[in-house]
Homo-oligomer: A and B are copies of this chain.
């Protein structure tokens, strides 16, 4: 299982008056890390959009448990991997480590879609090609 390790520096503007990361920022980092994970296995989104007619990888669910705070200047690592493949969706697991300590544990569920034949402006979930799944093994 391929894992991507994404280094993030916590900047001043990422933190709030409690001097810790304002939590929605973790989800932005999850989103970035998912994209970088795909890049790292040779599947950049632009290539997928062209080859498979997907329109991004729409998110249908996101979750996080916040176990320890991160502060200004912390150098954290987001470790991301696909932890579950379903027929038309997949789950990306994200673990944020701060000096080796597990700070956040989360996941995103994303869906593989194509334009609807009857209405191309709308999307419908379709099966994920086997070669996509194989690329993460």
Contacts and interface: CB of A to CB of B under 8 A. Distances in A.
A5 interface: no
B28 A24 contact: yes
Nearest to A23: B59
A65 interface: yes
Nearest to A69: B58
B60 A62 contact: no
A102 interface: no
18 contacts: A12-B22, A13-B22, A13-B28, A17-B17, A17-B72, A18-B55, A18-B58, A23-B27, A24-B25, A58-B66, A58-B69, A60-B65, A61-B64, A61-B65, A61-B66, A62-B62, A62-B63, A63-B64
Given A17-B19, A23-B31, A27-B27, 11 more contacts: A11-B32, A12-B16, A12-B22, A12-B35, A13-B28, A13-B31, A16-B17, A17-B17, A18-B58, A63-B63, A63-B64
Interface of A: 11-13, 15-19, 22-25, 27-28, 31-32, 35, 55-56, 58-67, 69, 72
